[in-house]
Structures are given as C-alpha cells and as structure tokens.
Amino acid sequence: MNRRSDGGQHPVRGRLLRGLVALGLTTALLAGSTAPTGGIRSTAAAATTAHAAPVSTAAFELVSPTTKRPLQWPACRPIAYAINPAGMPKGMDAVIKRVMAGVQQQTGARFRYAGSTKRTFGAQSRPTVPTIVFAFTGKTKAYGHRFAYPGEIGMGGPVGAWYMSGDGRRYEAITSGRVLLSTAFAGKRTGAGATWQSLIRHEVGHALNLAHRSSRTAVMNPMLTSKAPSRFTSTEVAALKRVLQRKGCDYAAWSRL
C-alpha cells in the first residue's frame, strides 16, 4: 500500500469574508458560509419607513478565529482602490477620491487610485494587490439586499484569507475590500450630513474592517441622517489604525493567500 506523507511540505489555505445575506453578525466565518456585509440606511423624507440596521456588538467585521484580533490590511505600501464605472453617477469618482484622501489624512495610511475596473462587488478572486473596489447598482435587489431611498442605500465589507505553511506557521490578512452604492440615493454629493460623501465614508469604514457603532456622532452609525459627521471620530481612527498594518508587512506571504 502506498501512502503519501505530508512531511511538512503542503500548505493549507482558506478564506474569511463577510457575506451577502443580512446585517448584524460580527464574527469571521470561513468562505462558503453566509454572513452579513455592513450596510447603511437613510431616513431622509420618510423616517418611519426606514428602520435602523442592527448595531454590531464588536468593533470589527473580521476577527481572527485564532488570535481573536481584527484582521489587518497590509498598509506598508499604498492600498489601491479602483472604481467600476458601470452605472456610476456623473462626478462620483471625484467624491470617492475626496473620501479616500480624508481617510489617508486621518489615519496616516496611504491610498492610491488604481483607475477603473471591471471587477464587481461579488467577485471571488483575490486581486493582485490589496485593493478596495467601488461599484454601483440601480437595482432594487442585489446580493440578497433590497435597496431603496429611503431605506438601504449602500453596503461594504472586507474579504480576508489565511495561509498555513508546511511548518505550521499561520498567516492571515485582509485581501480586499468592497463597496456597493445604490444610485437610488438622492443626497447631495459632498459635505457632512446625508450626502454621498458621508455614505461612501461609512462604507469605506466597513471595507477597512470597521463594524457598526451605536454612537450618533460616529461615521459607522448605521443610519445616515443630517447629523452624519464629516470625519471619523477619534475612537474610530484608533480602530482604523489597528486594522492598517504600517510596519512589518509580509507581502510575500500575502501573495500566497
């Protein structure tokens, strides 16, 4: 009888992600399971028709099942972001760039615009470099969510993966982020309050691995209202810095995820 011995030579891989079904779950799950992607709702025009999304009891969307720490983006180099222009309202690329410049200013991490992409919100393959993808939808139902204004107008989240080397060392990190924005939203483009800029900032928070927060002064509050702030709070910035690894990044290990 022939037997094959692993002999410490065969790595094992897996994926961690936020899925596409509902809001509110906070633990990281293996790929193939269904877990929510963070979303945001608008109360504009008819507050009684929009109900608050469940608020997370954790600070982060993806947490390592082994270390119990939030998964991190390798951020020693600039993190790329790309825009799928299909259905994009005119001028929205400039709003996205403004939001990313603001995140860079608040966190110290660097972001670079990587141009347009055909990659969709539901893409499963790993990008060649850590990347946040922005996409738009005019549909009332997409990826298991119903979009409306007032109602749910956006969602976002991180995708992570882990790698176990043959000698038992484990490497895990966020591989990409994704943002989906409903073109049903009719807010102003820029500024604080119920604007596109506020909506995009919230979903970028999810893509970077922040969960919902109950504070009404927080960007990550799940309700988009006239009170929405123009910047992440100091608490949110501290959380962002925890998920943006700016020293000791192992890009060779990341490329094996």
Residue with tokens 């946040």: 132
What is the distance between the alpha carbons of residues 203 and 185, in angstroms, rounded to a whole number?
A: 14
Predicted pLDDT at 175? 96
Model confidence at 25: pLDDT above 90: no
Average pLDDT, stretch 23-37? 29
* pLDDT tens digits, one per residue of 195-215: 999 999 999 999 999 999 999
Q: Residue-wise over 50-64: b if at least 16 C-beta within 10 A, else e?
A: beebebbeebbbbbb
Coil vs helix vs strand at 213? coil
Q: Over the Cα atoms of the chain, what is R_g? A: 18
Predicted pLDDT at 169? 85
Model confidence at 22: pLDDT above 90: no
pTM of the model: 0.84
CB contact at 8 A, 136 and 205: no
* pLDDT tens digits, one per residue of 38-68: 666 654 432 222 223 334 446 999 999 889 9
CB contact at 8 A, 246 and 235: no
Strand partners, 161: 15, 173
* pLDDT tens digits, one per residue of 99-139: 999 999 999 999 999 999 999 999 989 999 999 999 999 99
* pLDDT tens digits, one per residue of 138-186: 999 999 999 999 999 999 999 999 988 878 889 999 999 999 999 999 9
Predicted pLDDT at 168? 82
* pLDDT tens digits, one per residue of 218-248: 999 999 999 999 999 999 999 999 999 999 9
* Domains assigned to the chain: 12-245 (3.40.390.10)
Model confidence at 70: pLDDT above 80: yes
